[in-house]
Structure formats: C-alpha cells, structure tokens
Amino acid sequence: MPRRRIRQSHRTATRADLIRAALLIGVSVIAGAGVIAVDLGADPSVLPEVASRVDPGNSDALIAMGGTLIGTDLDAAQDYARRAIALNPLEDRALIVAALSATAANHIARADALFGHITTLTRRQPLAETWMFDVAIAHGRYGEAIDHADAALRRRSGAEVEVMPALIGITNGTPALPAFARKLAAGPPWRPAFFTAFTRSKDGDALALIEALRRAGDRQTPAEVAGMASQQIAGSVPKARAVWQIGFGHPLPTLLSPNFESALQLGDFGWTFLARGGSQIVGRPGGQDHALEVEPSTTGKRATRVVQQAMLLDRGRHAISFEGRSVGGGAPVAAVVVRCAGDDAELGRADVPTVQAWTRTRFVFGVPASDCPIQKLIIEAAPNLSEGATPALIDSFRVE
C-alpha cells in the first residue's frame, strides 16, 4: 500500500486526463443511469431530485443526481455518489460517478483507484475500461492495456473516439505493439472498425503493424493489406510497397487493374468509379473480354472524371498505352489523363480515338522528382457540346 501511495502522489492531472474526463462525462454515465423507479407509487418519470427526497433509498435517483451535478456542484455530486455506494458497494454506476467526481476535483490517484476497482467488478463499463487503458499504457502494462481497450470497444459505446487513435498510435513501433497485434490476431469484433480507422488516419506505421501481425501468426485479408498500403503511400512509397509485398507475397503491380475484366479495387489501387452514370463495363464482341463504355459528359463545358486508380511510379519518363474506339465516330468523347495525386497537376493525356476500329494509343509523360510520389490514372468524359456524340470504349492499359 505505501508503494501505491508514493506512485500516485507523483501523477498529476494532464490535459489528456481532463479531456478524457470530459469525454467520459459526456458519453454516458448520467444517461446510463437508467429509468428511475421510485417507491410509494411515484411516477417513474419523476425528476431525480424529487425521487431522491421521496425515496432516499432509491440508488437510481441518487446516481442520476450525482451525475448531473458533477459540473455544477462537486460536493453534492460526491455526496450523492457516497450515499448510493453505501446502499450498494458493488453498484458500478455509483462508483463511476464517484470516479468522475474525483477527476473533476483533480484527485487523479483516487480516480485511478476507483476506475480500477470498477473494472474488477464488471467489464461492462467502457468508461472505466477506457480510463484504465490509458493508465496501464502509462505504466508499461501493455497486455493489460490492450485488454482494457478490447473491453471498451466491444461495448460500442463511443469509446472508440479516444481508444482508436491511441491504438493507431501504438503501431508506431511502441512496446505495446506485440500485445496489440496478438489481440488483433484473435479476431475481435472491432477489428474491421480498426482497419477502417487506420486506413483513414495519417498516423500509424503500416509496415510495423503488418510485420507485428505476421509475427503474431495473423493472416490479413486483401482489403486489410491494401488499406494499410494505401494509408502509407502519402508518407512513404517504399513502405507502401513493402506492406504490399509482405501481405500479398508479390510486388505491387504498376497497375492493379490494367483492364476491366473484374474492375478490381483494393484500397486506393484498382479502378474507382467516381461519377454516377456516364460509364459502365460492357462485353467486347466475339469473346469474354470487357471494356469501359464512357458516355459524353452532361455537366456542361467541363470534363467529368469517370474512373481512376492510383499508381506509384518512380520519378522520370514513362509511357501509357491503351486500346480505344468510338461507337459511332465524331468528336472525342473521352480522354486518358495522368495527374499528381497531391496537387492534381496534369502530367500527360491522350484522347480516345474517334475511329470505330479498336486502336492502340500511346502517350509519354514525366513524373517530377518531388511532390508527386502518387499518381492518378484518370478516364475523363468530354462535354457533349455538339449534343450528338456517341459513346467511347476503352480497355487494355499498359505502363512502360
């Protein structure tokens, strides 16, 4: 016990503590107190302050009153919590009100103890689990911390607002990463939500994560691997390629989808359809192959981006070729364009041939030495200025 008191005395409230406390109060303790049932035939919808006077032994009313007063009358909130705990020392909702009151009073050590006690009573309080996740991380108890995060996320209570960013941060080579990888490998129900958040985040190290997952014996889905690679490309193209190599067992291709046989898309790679209508995948006569049919744009005088996919080309000179034809001849209906993903600068383009026979077209472009690690291969639909243009067909891309 003396050791515990000495350790606590050195821990002061941090900004993270206060933000966490505000989050915990906001997400739910008070709303989670439940319907207040009052004895003596009182209406269940009666106000908590009335209920606590009519029936001083109504712990639901005491908990609700304590929770609502944390921000305005701390002494009263603590008193209501103590009264509820005296009625039932195992009432976790009352203990949470007491812990939040301790936090509001800047008694962080007492809050640690109360939240820790709650997690020994029940794993159904995500507020306590979220708090103890942070405490365990701060003291190097990584396996315990990940267990707390798991318990919080399983309740789907809003705890992910704080826990998910912290888990993403763990992937940056921290000592907690092995424990976290083992938990992910066990297939928790929040695993898809984590990978969705990770892919959208600018933080986190996808290469460190996939290596830790492999050491934990995990097998990632293609979507997870591609998501990790997509998350990494803005910061490190070599790491993105390494993630793909580890996850799929082969290098990232120059174009994931060189044609339209399956319209494969994995993360940012493969064809992404950008506009509703205006394009569709159709069969090519005389075989099983498919092509993209592009209608003229109906948005006025500007071209419409129909589909695109990401490329990770090295700096220097490159060329792209493709097959195309017009269904009925006339003015160009579509164009193939390469742009830098960052600033959208155009690197090169070519119109789809207006002849009705399949024709291969090639154009050369250069990737600059800086500010263009990711490129976008885009198919645009030209505006239908003549109101008589017919669709174009495009297929079979190559990068040289």
pLDDT band for position 85 (50/70/90)?
confident
Q: Residue 257: what residue type?
A: S
pLDDT band for position 76 (50/70/90)?
confident
pTM of the shown model:
0.75
The per-residue pLDDT for 178 is 96
How would you label 173-197 residue by residue, b for 16+ Cβ within 10 Å and e otherwise?
A: eeebbbbbbbbbbeebebbeebbeb
pLDDT band for position 160 (50/70/90)?
confident
Contact 285, 355 (CB under 8 A): no
User: How distant, in Å, are the alpha carbons of 2, 181, 209, 307, 343 from that of 219?
Assistant: 46, 11, 12, 31, 36
Q: What percent of the chain has pLDDT over 70?
A: 80
Answer yes or no: is pLDDT of 40 > 50: no
Top-confidence residue, 346 or 72:
346
Q: Which tokens belong to 194?
A: 């984590």
Answer yes or no: is pLDDT of 19 > 50: no
Q: Residue 62: what residue type?
A: L
Average pLDDT over residues 332-348: 92
The per-residue pLDDT for 282 is 82
Average pLDDT over residues 243-251: 94
Mean of all residue pLDDT scores within the chain: 80
Q: Are strands 346-351 and 334-340 parallel, antiparallel or unpaired?
A: antiparallel
Answer yes or no: is pLDDT of 20 > 60: no
Top-confidence residue, 258 or 77:
258
Backbone angles phi, psi at 335, to 5 degrees: -140, 155
pLDDT tens-digit readout, 303-317: 888 899 999 999 999
The per-residue pLDDT for 342 is 83
pLDDT band for position 348 (50/70/90)?
very high
Q: For residue 324, give the nearest of 285, 358, 281 by alpha carbon.
A: 358
The per-residue pLDDT for 142 is 95
Top-confidence residue, 50 or 301:
301
Residue labelled with tokens 């209906």: 333
Answer yes or no: is pLDDT of 109 > 70: yes
Least trusted range by pLDDT, from 35-49, 161-175, 221-235:
35-49
- Count Cβ atoms below 10 Å from residue 30 Cβ, excluding itself: 21
pLDDT band for position 215 (50/70/90)?
very high
3-state secondary structure the chain: CHHHHHHHHCCCCCHHHHHHHHHHHHHCCCHHHCCCCCCCCCCCCCCHHHHHHHCCCCHHHHHHHHHHHCCCCHHHHHHHHHHHHHHCCCCHHHHHHHHHHHHHCCCHHHHHHHHHHHHHHCCCCHHHHHHHHHHHHHCCCHHHHHHHHHHHHHCCCCCHHHHHHHHHHHCCCCCCHHHHHHHHHCCCCCHHHHHHHHHHCCCCCHHHHHHHHHHCCCCCCHHHHHHHHHHHHCCCHHHHHHHHHHHHCCCCCCCCCCCCCCCCEECCEECEECCCCCEEEEECCCCCCEEEEECCECCCCCCEEEEEEEECCCCEEEEEEEEEEECCCCCCCEEEEEEECCCCCEEEEEECCCCCCCEEEEEEEEECCCCCCCEEEEEEECECCCCCCCCEEEEEEEEC
Highest mean pLDDT (candidates 261-275, 326-340, 365-379)? 365-379
The per-residue pLDDT for 234 is 75
pLDDT band for position 146 (50/70/90)?
very high
Answer yes or no: is pLDDT of 46 > 60: no
Q: In what order do the strands lie in the sheet with 316-326?
A: 279-283, 290-294, 392-399, 316-326, 359-367
Q: Which tokens belong to 179?
A: 């424990």
Top-confidence residue, 400 or 364:
364
Q: Return d(Cα 339, Cα 185) in angstroms, integer.
A: 38
Answer yes or no: is pLDDT of 148 > 60: yes
pLDDT band for position 37 (50/70/90)?
very low
Q: Residue 370: what residue type?
A: S
Average pLDDT over residues 327-331: 75
Answer yes or no: is pLDDT of 392 > 50: yes
pLDDT band for position 57 (50/70/90)?
low
Q: Are strands 359-367 and 272-273 parallel, antiparallel or unpaired?
A: unpaired
Answer yes or no: is pLDDT of 288 > 70: no
Average pLDDT over residues 263-271: 80
